[in-house]
Amino acid sequence: MSGARLDKWLWFARFAKTRSLAAKLCAEGAVTVAGAAVLKPGHTVRVGDLIAVRQGRMLRQVTVRALGTRRGPPAEARLLYDEPAPPVSLRAAEQAAWEPLIEEG
């Protein structure tokens, strides 16, 4: 298998409780793949893709390690991705984006 649907992968990896909620995340623009917003849940995800998911006030950035074939227990879902850094608060991310502008002005 060369790729998987984004909504299925988000569901397998437990970023969403249901596939319909995973599709809703995509439709709302809360998911990016390789830095580009993905609005369609049928977008193909491949091993090595960098995915950012906004969940409430948190932003999680992960790299796809495996595509998965089912929605298993959390320990199995964790094997589908690498998360090099802990989730970032969107408020902190917004402040970091504004800091260079404040220093210049």
Which residue is associated with the tokens 């690498």?
Answer: 82
Predicted confidence (pLDDT) per residue in 44-71, tens digit: 999 999 999 988 888 899 999 999 999 9
**96 phi, psi to nearest 5 deg:** -65, -35
Model pTM score: 0.82
Which tokens in the block code for residue 43? 């977008």
Please report, for the chain, the start and end positions of each structural domain, with discontinuous segments joined by +.
4-104
Measured CA to CA, the distance from residue 75 to residue 59 in angstroms comes to 21
Specify the CATH number for 4-104; select among 3.50.50.60, 3.40.47.10, 3.20.20.100, 3.10.290.10: 3.10.290.10
Query: What average pLDDT does the segment 87-92 reach?
Result: 77
Q: How far apart are CA 46 and CA 91, in angstroms?
A: 30
Residue 57: closest CA among 31, 98, 91: 91
Contacts of 92 (CB under 8 A, 6+ apart): none
